[in-house]
Amino acid sequence: MLSGLPMWVERTFSAPRFGPYLNAFPGDWLTAWNLYRWNMEVSAAFYIPLQCLEISLRNAEHDRLRAHYGHDDWWRSAPLGRDQLGKVAKAENDACRKGDRRASPDDIVAELPFGFWASLLNRAHDRYLWVPVLHRAFPGYRGDRETLRDNFRSVVLLRNRIMHHEPIHHRHLTADHDKIYRLLGYIEPEVIVWARASDQVPEVLTRRPQPTPP
């Protein structure tokens, strides 16, 4: 039983799921519960900057690749790996199930996940995608592909934890937040001002629960 908390908390959220929060404040059940709620709040707050980055990355890479290959369904020509081609096939099937017509390239692009677009920066694509095409999707970037890929993979991990309702309170969330905007700046700096106008992450970070006074 989760000591000092209503019984519905354990029935609804389960003691094992509550464990990572209690580990942050051993023996302090009330603050651990407040941390659980705060984790929900900060996860929701990250939705706006993450959405801006995911959409920006998707459209920047898609625009460059379709221009390079000369057709909207560029994945039929690009040297993608088996896992990536599987994601394209799944995206096409998912898009078809949502409508009563054959999925268009735009429908498929909209279904492809954040991780797919980040994976196009992998070392395997250095010669055939990054060098001739994809580096142009990041006009504000002057570093190497590997560093850029690692930064995007970190943000994809954050995004996936949020979407699967997992703890993120243990992460350096201020650094995560800064990284999202840094990556946005590499693609389209002007979107940053627009995104920050609705971004609640900085304010929510100031409300992180503190241990209950003895």
pLDDT band at 3 (very low <50, low <70, confident <90, very high): low
Structural domain includes residue 99: no
pLDDT band at 17 (very low <50, low <70, confident <90, very high): confident
21-26-30 Cα angle (round to 5): 65
The predicted structure's pLDDT at residue 20? 85
Structural domain includes residue 142: yes
The predicted structure's pLDDT at residue 23? 86
Structural domain includes residue 40: no
pLDDT band at 211 (very low <50, low <70, confident <90, very high): confident
pLDDT band at 88 (very low <50, low <70, confident <90, very high): very high
Question: What sign for the dihedral angle of Cα 18, 24, 28, 30?
Answer: negative
Structural domain includes residue 63: yes
CA pair distance 175, 18, nearest whole angstrom: 25
Output the six-digit token pair for 182: 């840094």
Task: Tell me which DSSP letter residue 103 carries.
Answer: P
Task: Tell me which DSSP letter residue 129 carries.
Answer: I
CA pair distance 207, 210, nearest whole angstrom: 9
| Residue 41 burial by Cβ neighbours in a 10 Å radius (0-12, 13-18, 19+) | middle
Structural domain includes residue 90: no
Q: What domain range is 160 assigned to?
A: 45-71+114-204
Q: Average pLDDT over the chain, rounded to whole?
A: 92
Do residues 103 and 92 make contact, with C-beta atoms less than 8 angstroms apart? yes
pLDDT band at 63 (very low <50, low <70, confident <90, very high): very high
For the entire predicted model, the pTM comes to 0.90
Structural domain includes residue 20: no
The predicted structure's pLDDT at residue 52? 97
What residues have CB less than 8 Å from 138, skipping those under 6 apart?
A: 60, 148, 186, 187
CA pair distance 66, 61, nearest whole angstrom: 9
pLDDT band at 101 (very low <50, low <70, confident <90, very high): confident
Structural domain includes residue 177: yes
CA pair distance 179, 172, nearest whole angstrom: 11
Longest dimension (CA), the chain: 67
Structural domain includes residue 176: yes
Mean pLDDT value across residues 5-33: 75
The predicted structure's pLDDT at residue 1? 46
Q: What is the total count of domains within the chain?
A: 1
